Structure 1
Amino acid sequence: MSKHMNPAKVRGIVAVRADAGGGNDLKEVLANLQKNWQAFKDTQAEKDKEVAAKFDDVVTTEKFDRINSSVSELQAAVDQANAKLAAMSVNGGGAGQVKDKEYTDAFRAHFRKGDVQASLNKGADDEGGYLAPVEWDRTITDKLVEISPMRQIAQVQQISTNGFRKLFNEKGTGSGWVGETAARPETTTPTFGSMTYTTGELYANPAATQQMLDDAEVNLEQWLAAEVDQEFAYQEGIAFVSGNGVNKPAGFLTYVTGAANAAAHPYGAIPTGVTAAGAAAVTSDEVIDLIGSIPTPYLAGSRFVMNRSTIFSLRKLKDGQGNYLWQPSFQIGQPQTMVGYPITEMPAMPNIAAGAFPIAFGNFQRGYLIVDRVGVRVLRDPYTNKPFVHFYTTKRVGGGLLNPEVLRVLKNAAA
């Protein structure tokens, strides 16, 4: 942190700029990030001199920790803005023209007063409740992409049934050399394996008073999305990383060698690319070796996945030429990087600890599949908790390993 900038001011900038998400505000955040990154490197140089002199100045250490925290906060603001851009790109720019005005208007009337109109029947099905209008569904999906990091980097498949079955070619086609008139005996044929990706049900049950719903100034779409998306994204974030697959997605870490789903995929488990020598630390060589553990054909599109605490710890690592492995975002739309590869901050990833898997690396677009059962459903309940009206909202989501060959993890040594 620059000596002219206090921590409170930095935190204030982050909060405002993260909401702004672009324009001059975000450019100011980028400028501050670059300034603080330079201060980080200068302070690290001071610490290196102290280490060489076998002297530890607590003032320098405290200054270094403040700068490191500031860099993390500013980078988080840039990441949040980039996530909004990603959500707009994935979902066509967010809410647009109403596609089914009659149904949308009928649903809003039901939402406010409980009115059931004939046009609303198209939203009913055998499972009960009503399908949310396209605009509402899209709003919640936009927010999930923005908040849930895995949705930004994994492959997402919409399905219309409870499960999705995928075949995997396990190869095995035989061949041979023959002479012009030699016999051509039958060769071996390839075999296939399969995996079924089933969905679990995510739910939220926000409530509002009838007076709130009567207020015409309330933006119901935004209110519903705000109540639902945070909880959905939180639950998804955990499940996509470490979910056990029972009524929820199977997290990718459960497919690592030795984990619960190690034998579930026809291609095998996700290999441990590197086992760190330390139980509570990771070295620059180990990070570079993790990249090298991925076969060259699979490196395109690869990225690091780790939580903020791990990023915080790795930020001071350098290569053999004294260059920092971590680099901040340099412009809008670009992520932070490690050894030139993007980093996705994943809060559900484990911290650096004995026997943990704090870092994953690879192409998650080819490595992990999210399946969405199309449609958000909302059941209006004005009876259970008067005077509140509850909106029981559900979305069916699944997930699992798509290809273990394109992913690797780093494991800390046991204690």
Structure 2
Amino acid sequence: MSELIKRLQERRANVWEQTKALLDAAETEGRGLSAEEDETYQRLTGDLDQIDARVKDMTEAEQRAADAEAAFGKLLARPQTEDRKAPVEDSDLRRWARGEIRSFEVAPSEEARDLVKGTPTAGGHTVPTTFYGQLIEHLIEVSGVMMAGPTVINTSSGENIDMPVTTAHTTAALVAEGGTIPEADPAFAKRTLGAYKYGDLLQISSELLTDSAFNLEEYLSRTAGRALGNAFGAHAILGTGTNQPTGVVTSATSGKTGAGAVAGAFTADDLIDLYYSVIAPYRNSTSCAWLMRDATMGAVRKLKDQQGQYLWQPSIQVGVPDTLLGKPVHTDPNVAAVGTGAKSVVFGDFSQYAVRMAGGVRFERSDSFAFNTDLVTYRAIIRADGVTLDQTGAIKVFTGGAAS
């Protein structure tokens, strides 16, 4: 880890201590934050978010540099034979993206992935794993559900898959000697996982492709990945299940409805109640986490338990999310804002949410689509669906109530 990242983490810890001191002072005096203090609080929490974003960018840059160094080391150390194809380098992808070559091959012994369902005659659609990995990474980083660790089902085609969904568990009973054991079967329902299509179209001028030295692969993977992640991510949260995926909030059960001094708001006790509304097997899962929008985090950071300890704890390790009651916190802009009737906080075992990805990612290029404007057109397409497999309470929500 670079010294700069370490210093940023130290600064983050210092900002959090300032934030706690501000909140503690107001609590000691038995009052809320003044207008000036609230402005300071908003500035400090904004600093926390900015530091988080910068650390994330720097960590990703360091990882890319390390991956490139490892790849070059591997290539330099490997002897070449006449009957073996040379491994594909990033320049081949760049030449394909510019239109200089129509296709290229990847040596079977190298890590690679075919990104299209079709025949090789469709054009140059085979790209190195590094590009595919970046595209998927950017898709995931904008979706809170994907970051939370759902069960991902990859299929080569997009035919419907019937999934059994648990709606009630079996129960046992005390039985006397010689008594009849009562029947208590689990209840199942059937849900169909389809393959809804999400696409992104982006265009780049031929002059920019020809003359610019910018990182084309990173730009294409980031732009396409984030666009696909935003589109699917919205439905992974709030999808109705009709002509679109079933969102995790849509199929979640109620864990707590608030009744605080402010309509729609939650208290520390509300979040503790929501935490314990999820039964232990799910609560103890490594995929158990919180999900909320960024703006909600500002309210969460103010909360304390009955022992005066903050529920929210900042992470002190790069790549590890902050925690709330010991569980990681993920954010997604599609989760509802705090409000009356709004399901603003989600908590539970996200491995019980299944995401079906059909056929990988198609990434294609056309020189003729925008021929009259001399633009090169790229399109990225995924086919995906999602549904909660265990609907007995694996994932629950807090719902804002009226003021008490």
Residue 69 (structure 1) aligned with residue 64 (structure 2) = no
Residue 158 (structure 1) aligned with residue 158 (structure 2) = no
Q: Which residue of 1 aligns with 2:354?
A: 369
Residue 412 (structure 1) aligned with residue 400 (structure 2) = yes
> Equivalent of 2:24, from 30, 45, 49?
45
- The C-alpha deviation readout for 1:34-56, integer Å capped at 9, x for no partner, is 1111111211122224545xx97
Q: Which residue of 1 aligns with 2:307?
A: 321
Residue 333 (structure 1) aligned with residue 327 (structure 2) = no
Describe the SS at the equivalent of 2:368: coil
- The C-alpha deviation readout for 1:68-93, integer Å capped at 9, x for no partner, is 332343345456678x59x99xxx99
Gaps of 5+ in 1: 1-21, 256-269
* 1:192 shift after superposition: 5.2
Describe the SS at the equivalent of 1:65: helix
Q: Residue type matched to 2:163 in 1?
A: K
> Equivalent of 1:384, from 362, 369, 373?
369
* 1:171 shift after superposition: 6.6
CA distance in 2, matches of 1:95, 1:241: 37
% identical aligned pairs? 24
> Equivalent of 1:201, from 165, 174, 197?
197
* 1:174 shift after superposition: 10
Q: What is the root-mean-square deviation of aligned Cα atoms in Å?
A: 4.0
Describe the SS at the equivalent of 1:383: strand
Mean Cα deviation higher: 352-361 or 127-136: 127-136
> Equivalent of 1:59, from 36, 55, 79?
36
Q: Answer yes or no: is the 8 Å Cα contact 2:268–2:304 preserved in 1.
A: yes
Q: Which residue of 2 aligns with 1:261?
A: none
Q: Answer yes or no: is the 8 Å Cα contact 1:75–1:329 preserved in 2.
A: no
- The C-alpha deviation readout for 1:168-217, integer Å capped at 9, x for no partner, is 5677699998999x9x99x8987754322112112111111222333484
Higher strand share: 2
Q: Residue type matched to 2:355 in 1?
A: I
Relative to 1, partners in 2 of residues 1:134 and 1:113: Cα closer, same or farther, differing over 3 Å? closer
Relative to 1, partners in 2 of residues 1:48 and 1:195: Cα closer, same or farther, differing over 3 Å? same
Q: Which residue of 1 aligns with 2:139?
A: 144
Q: Which residue of 2 aligns with 1:24?
A: 3
CA distance in 2, matches of 1:174, 1:305: 33
Relative to 1, partners in 2 of residues 1:390 and 1:350: Cα closer, same or farther, differing over 3 Å? same
CA distance in 2, matches of 1:73, 1:299: 30
Describe the SS at the equivalent of 1:194: strand
Q: Answer yes or no: is the 8 Å Cα contact 1:356–1:411 preserved in 2.
A: yes
- The C-alpha deviation readout for 1:110-162, integer Å capped at 9, x for no partner, is 43236545969x96727966644242322211222333332222222211121
Residue 276 (structure 1) aligned with residue 258 (structure 2) = yes
Describe the SS at the equivalent of 2:97: helix
CA distance in 1, matches of 2:35, 2:170: 62
Residue 133 (structure 1) aligned with residue 127 (structure 2) = yes
TM-score, with length taken from structure 1: 0.75
Q: Residue type matched to 2:39 in 1?
A: E
- The C-alpha deviation readout for 1:193-243, integer Å capped at 9, x for no partner, is 432211211211111122233348454422311221221222232121112
Q: Answer yes or no: is the 8 Å Cα contact 2:139–2:227 preserved in 1.
A: no
Q: Which residue of 2 aligns with 1:394?
A: 381
Aligned length: 369
Q: Which residue of 2 aligns with 1:245?
A: 241
Describe the SS at the equivalent of 1:348: coil
Relative to 1, partners in 2 of residues 1:174 and 1:124: Cα closer, same or farther, differing over 3 Å? closer
Residue 308 (structure 1) aligned with residue 294 (structure 2) = yes
